Structure 1
Amino acid sequence: MRILIVGGGKAGRFLIKEFLKKGYDVTLIEQDVDKCLMIEEKFGIRVVNGDGSEAKVLEKAGIKDMDVVLAVTEDDQDNLVICQLAERQFQVPRTFATVNTPGNETLFEWLGVNVAVSSTAILSALVDQEVTMKDITTMFKLQKHDLSMVEITIKPGSPVAGKMIKDIDLPDETVLVTILRGNTALVPRGKTKIFENDKILALTHLREEKELRKCLNGDLQDTKD
């Protein structure tokens, strides 16, 4: 089995060790140069230095030939982008992600990630099984599961304008799906900055929608867009 792991932290190193024991072919993507050198020396695997949420870096790592992609960075938003790119652009049959924020598992599943769990040990065991989850279906079905896709315009004077997504304290069970900036649709990553007049498409639990709107626009947002 050919496996691509994105993220060389504790979770990534644990998975590398487990998969090498099983004789799998493992490749790693990691942004930190020192970690890349350490992991390459320790485990003897191929390591690519770069941002795994970028398509060109995934291609460099040979994603087109992979059976499985695991996104285990410390940023849930980046993990989601990695899995979506793997499935939709590169047709990787199975994607897995660790979830750092409790409650995001369900959101990831509805956005197309095959399996999203908070435990790395469980993730390791699931790779050996034929595990699949439901794809995104209809908004009606999302509503049945207390999930809603919302659109929020960032108002002038917003407290998040100019901030990177990773520095914004979003509600626990919320994932940003798309940023509409003028005529351009952007894939939100942890380092993506939010600007005034951006339209944010987010998937969130119904009970979190009011908190999300307040998070993005403070007291400037009194009514829904």
Structure 2
Amino acid sequence: MFILIVGGGKVGRYLIKEFSNKDYKVVLIEQDYDKAVKIEEKYDIEVICGDGSEQDVLEKAGIEECDILLAVTEDDQDNLVICQLAERKYNISRTFTTVNTPGNEKLFNWLGVNVAVSSASILAGLVEYDVTLSDLNVLLKKDQDQLRLTRVLVRENSSIVGQKVKDIELPLESVLVTILRGDNTIVPRGNTKIMGNDLILVLTKKELSGELVKIFNK
């Protein structure tokens, strides 16, 4: 089995340790060069240095041949982009991620990620024992019918203009899905900056819509 891991933080290293001593092929994508070198030396696995949300980096790591992709960066937004790219572009049927913000498990599942959990040990167990995805989805879809896509137009004089997505404190159980900027559709990542007149699409609960408007138009 070929497992592709994106993110060499604590969770990524835990998973590498779990799988590298077994008969699995493990490849890691890590953006930080120094961290990538240290992990490659310590665990004796192939490490690709680069941004795991970019297609050329994923292809260099062998995504077209992998059986499972694990997106475990420290940024939920990046994890979502990576999983969706793996599923829709490369037809990877088993994508897993851990989430850093409590409550995002349901949101990620609603957006199409196969399995999103908050514990690295649970994630390792799901991969190891091949839990039935249909059974997991029944559990993870609880309350998803309460979610809705909310649109927020950012005014030019908003104090949020120029801020990076990763620095914006969204309500729990809210995920920034897309930014519409003029004729362009932007997949938001941690370092994406908000601009005036951006139309923000956020997946959240109905009762949080007003709070989101206030956040993006302070």
TM interval, shorter chain, is over 0.9
Q: Is the 8 A contact 1:114 1:131 kept in 2?
A: no
Please tell me the residue identity of whatever aligns with 2:21. K
Aligned position for 2:37: 37
Residue 161 (1) aligns with residue 161 (2): yes
Count of residues in Structure 1 that have an aligned counterpart in Structure 2 = 213
Deviation, structure 1 residue 202: 1.1
Q: Tell me, in whole angstroms, the C-alpha distance in 2 between the residues paired with 1:203 and 1:144.
A: 11
Deviation, structure 1 residue 39: 0.5
Q: Tell me, in whole angstroms, the C-alpha distance in 1 between the residues paired with 2:214 and 2:51.
A: 31
Aligned position for 1:132: 133
Please tell me the residue identity of whatever aligns with 2:40. E
Aligned position for 2:197: 197
Aligned position for 1:18: 18
1:89 counterpart SS class: helix
Q: Is the 8 A contact 2:152 2:212 kept in 1?
A: no
Deviation, structure 1 residue 132: 2.2
Q: Tell me, in whole angstroms, the C-alpha distance in 1 between the residues paired with 2:205 and 2:33.
A: 38
Deviation, structure 1 residue 209: 1.8
Deviation, structure 1 residue 98: 0.6
1:178 counterpart SS class: strand
Deviation, structure 1 residue 143: 8.7
- Shift >6 Å, 4+ stretches: 141-144
Q: Which consecutive residues of structure 1, in runs of 5 or more, have no partner in the other structure?
A: 136-140, 219-225
- Structure 1 residues 144 and 65, CA, compared in 2 at 3 Å: closer, same or farther? closer
Q: Tell me, in whole angstroms, the C-alpha distance in 2 between the residues paired with 1:103 and 1:149.
A: 16
Q: Tell me, in whole angstroms, the C-alpha distance in 2 between the residues paired with 1:123 and 1:206.
A: 30
RMSD (Å) for aligned C-alpha atoms: 1.8
2:90 counterpart SS class: coil
Deviation, structure 1 residue 142: 10
Q: Is the 8 A contact 1:70 1:97 kept in 2?
A: yes
Q: What is the TM-score of this pair, normalised by structure 1?
A: 0.90
Please tell me the residue identity of whatever aligns with 1:124. A
Aligned position for 1:101: 101
Q: What is the TM-score of this pair, normalised by structure 2?
A: 0.93
Q: Tell me, in whole angstroms, the C-alpha distance in 2 between the residues paired with 1:29 and 1:159.
A: 35
Deviations 1:142-201 (A, max 9, x none): 997210111111111112111110111111111111111111111111111110011111
